[in-house]
Structure 1
C-alpha cells in the first residue's frame, strides 16, 4: 500500500512553478519594462530570447559541472542564486543590467530544474516514478495558468519590478523547504569528463532529445498561434479566447497527471509513443476542422481540450524515457540536455509558426504542427517497440516460472507477480 506523496515532492512542483513563471512572466510586463527603461517593446522582448537561449545552452553545461554534487545541494544553492538574480533584476537600473540578471537567472534555473527532475525520479518508490515526475511537471503547467497572470496583476497593482521580487520570494521559500525536507540523492560517482559527457552523444538519448525538440516545436507552434487560428476558423472566437486558454490549462493539468500514471502502468517509452501519437491525431483533427470550414467555437472547445491533454502530457514519460536510455548515473546530464531541446523547440515554434502564417495562413498551423509531431512520434517509436518486446518476453518467462498457475506471491513484490517455483 502506497503512502501519500511526501512534502518535498510538492515543493519540487513549486520549484518548477517558480522557474517557469520567471521564464514566461516577461510577456505580461513588456510594455511596462520598455517604458520604464526607455527601450522599444521589441528590444524588451529580447529579454525572453536571452533567458531561453541562456537556459538552452547552459543546461547541459551546468548539469555536467554539478553532476557530482548531491541533488539537494544543487537545488538549494541554485535556488538561492536564482532568488538573488531575480532581486538583481528587480533593482536593475537599465536594460543591459536587466538582461544580465535574466541570463544569470536562466543558468540557475537550468541547474535547479535538472536536479529537481533527477530527485523526483531517483527518490520515487518502485513503480511510481512516472507519477512523481508528473507531480513535479505540474508546477510548470500551473505557472502558465496562475503564475504568469499573477505576475501581470502585480505589475499593474504595483510595478513590473514587483514581479521579480515575487519570484525571488517563492524561490527562497522553496529553497528553505527543500533544505529541511528533500531526500538525500547522491550525485554521480567521480568519473573523467569524457565519461560524464557520454550521454550527450549516446544515440538512444539523442533520439529522444530530437523527439522532444520536434514535439515542442509542433505543440507550442499551435499554442503560440491559437488566437490567430481561432479568429480565422471559429466565428466569435475572440470573445471566447479566455475560455479557450482556460480549457488548455485545465486539460494540460489533467494530461500532466494522467501521463505519469500511464508511464507507471505501461513504461515510459510506450507511454511516450502513445502521448506523441495522440498529440499528432489531435492536431490532425484541428487541421480537418479548419479545412472543412465547420466554424463555431462549440466544436473548437473539445478539440482544443483533447489537444491540451496530450500537449502537456509530454514531460513525465519523456523524462522517464531519457533516464531509462541514459541510466540513473547519467540522468541529470541527459535530462538537462532534454530540457534544453524543449526550450530550443519553444524558440523554433514561434519562428516556424510565423513562416507558416505568412506563407499559407493561420488555418494551416495545426497541419504543420502535426507533421512535426509525426516526426517526433517516429523517433520515439523504436524504443517503445523495444520496450513492448521486453515486457512481453518478461511476461512469458514469468508465466513459465509459475507453471501458469496464476498464484501470486504474498511478498513485497508488486501485485500480480507470480511466485517462483
Structure 2
C-alpha cells in the first residue's frame, strides 16, 4: 500500500476520535452544560447531519481543487472547530462547532475515499479502503478510550483539546505526503457533475446506500449510549467505560481488516455472516447487560460485526458508483452518516421507554432486522459479480 494512503489514515484517526468520543463523555458533558443525557447525545446527531450535508456539497465544490490544498484545509478547519468547542460554555455553540467540524470531516473523508481508490489497482480497492478506515477503528481502540479516560481524569474539554492537537501531525502528514499539484491533476478531465449525480438514480446503488445507513444507525444507536449501560446495568465503575470502548475498537479493527480481505471477492458471504451476528448480538447485549463478562464479550463481537459489514457495504457503494469518480466517496459518507444521525435519535426515544438505558440496544437490533429484511430479496447486488455502473 502506498505511503500517502497511511497519511490519509492518520487524519481519519484524528477525525474518527472526535466522531466517536462522545460515547464516553455524554454523562459528564450533560452535567457540565446543564442539559439532559439525551440532549447531549444529540451532539452525535449534529455531527452526523453536518457529514450528510457536507459530503456531497463539499465534494462537488472541491472537484476541481488541488487535492493537497483541499485535504489540508479540511483538517485545519476541523482542528479550529475543536478549539472553539473546548472553550465554550454554551451547549448551542458546542452544537454549532460539531456541525462545522463535521462539514470539514465530510469534505476530507469524501475526497480521501475517492483518492484512496485511485492509489491502487482496481482489484485492491477493498484493501485500500480497509487501510483508510483503519484510522477510524484505531480511533475506537486508542483515541476514543484515551479521550474517555482523559475526560474521567480531567474533564471533557481536555478531550476536545487533545483532538485539536491530533490534527497537527495529520496536517503535516498531508502536507508532506502529497505533491502540491500532481501532473495528472492539472490535465485530467473532470467528469460532468450532472452525469455523476445521475448515478443516484440506479436502484442497485440506492439499495446499498440504504443498507449502509441502516447498519450504521444500529451501530451508533447502541454505541452512543454504551457508557450508561456499563456504569448502570452492569454496575461497573467509570474507569470500565474506556475498557468497553477499547474492546469495541479492537473488534472494529478486526472487522474492518476482514472486510479488507474479503469485501472484493466475497461481499455476500460477509453480509450473510455479519448480519445475523448483529441481529442476535444487540438484543443479547440488552438481556445480558447485568453480567459484566458477557457484556464486554458481546461489545467486542458487535464492534467486529458492525465494521466488517459496514466496510463491505462501503466497498459496494464505491463499486456501484464507479461512474461517479469524484462523488462516489461523498455518497458513501452521506449514507453512513444518515445512519449516524438517525441512530442516536432513535436511541434517545428508546431511552424514554420502559427499557430505560437498555432501550438503545433493542433499537439497534430492530434497525439491523430492517436491513436484513431489505437485503434478503436483493442478494445479487451484494455479490462480487454484481454489475458495476450501467
With normalisation by structure 1, the TM-score equals: 0.75
In the TM superposition, what whole-angstrom CA distance separates every residue of 1:53-76 from its partner, at most 9, and x where no partner exists? 122222211111112324333211
Q: What TM-score do the two structures reach when normalised by structure 2?
A: 0.80
1:14 corresponds to which of 10, 17, 21 = 10
> Following TM superposition, by how much is the alpha carbon of 1:175 offset from its aligned partner in structure 2, in angstroms?
1.6
Q: State the distance in 1 between where 2:285 and 2:29 align.
A: 37
1:114-153 equivalences under 5 Å are: 114-153=110-149
Indicate conservation of the 8 Å contact 1:90/1:161, yes or no. yes
2:109 paired with 1:109: no
CA distance in 1, matches of 2:29, 2:223: 25
Partner residue of 1:61? 57
Partners of 1:71 and 1:118 within 8 A in 2? no
Rounded Cα–Cα distance in structure 1 between residues aligned with 2:89 and 2:292: 46
Deviation larger for 244-253 or 133-142: 244-253
1:167 to 150, 163, 168: 163
Structure 2 CA distance for partners of 1:297 and 1:157, relative to 1, 3 Å: closer
Deviation, 1:134, is: 0.5
Deviations 1:169-212 (A, max 9, x none): 22222122112213758497345542342233333322211111
Going from structure 1 to structure 2, the CA distance change for 1:324 and 1:126 (only over 3 Å counts) comes to closer
Question: Do the aligned partners of 1:322 and 1:331 also contact (CA within 8 Å) in 2?
Answer: no
Q: What RMSD over aligned residues (CA atoms) do the two structures have, in Å?
A: 3.8
User: Which of residues 67, 72, 88 in structure 2 aligns to 1:71?
Assistant: 67
Q: Is the 8 A contact 1:214 1:375 kept in 2?
A: no
Residues 1:373 and 2:367 are matched in the alignment: no
SS in 1 for 2:385: helix
Write out aligned runs for 1:147-296 (5 A). Answer: 147-155=143-151, 160-182=156-178, 184=182, 186=185, 189-224=189-224, 238=236, 245-264=245-264, 266=265, 270-271=266-267, 273-286=268-281
- Cα deviation, 1:344-365, whole Å, max 9, x if unaligned, reads 2123223434556766744855
Deviation at 1:302, TM superposition (A): 5.4
Distance 2:374 2:27 in 1: 36
- Residue matched to 2:324: 330
Shift of 1:298: 5.9
Match of 1:343 in 2: 337
**CA contact under 8 A between 1:64 and 1:197: conserved in structure 2?**
no
- Kindly indicate whether residue 29 of structure 2 is the aligned counterpart of residue 47 of structure 1: no
CA contact (8 A) 2:282 2:302 kept: no
Partner SS, residue 197 of structure 1: helix
Inter-partner Cα distance in structure 1 for 2:367 and 2:139: 24
Asked whether the equivalents of residues 276 and 376 of structure 1 are also in contact (C-alpha less than 8 Å), the reply is no
Shift of 1:145: 2.4
1:53, 1:149 → 2: CA distance?
24
Q: Which stretches in structure 2 are left out of the alignment for 5+ residues?
A: none
Q: 1:287 to 1:35 in 2, by over 3 A?
A: closer
Distance 1:377 1:84 in 2: 41
- The 3-state SS of whatever aligns with 1:200 is helix
1:377 is displaced (CA, Å) by 2.9
CA separation in 2, counterparts of 1:229 and 1:160?
Answer: 19
User: How many residues are paired up?
Assistant: 377
Instruction: Sort the Cα spacing of 1:190 and 1:158 in 2 relative to 1 into closer, same or farther, 3 A.
Output: same
Question: Is the alpha carbon distance of 1:229 and 1:160 closer, same or farther for their aligned partners in structure 2, counting shifts above 3 Å?
Answer: closer
Give per-residue Cα distances to partners, 1:200-251, cap 9 Å, x unaligned. 333332221111112112344444566788899xx96758876654433222
Is this contact kept in 2: 1:263–1:317, CA < 8 A? yes
Structure 1: 5+ residue runs without aligned partners?
A: 392-421
Q: 1:229–1:258: structure 2 CA closer, same or farther, 3 Å change rule?
A: same
8 Å contact from structure 2 (residues 2, 119) kept in 1:
no
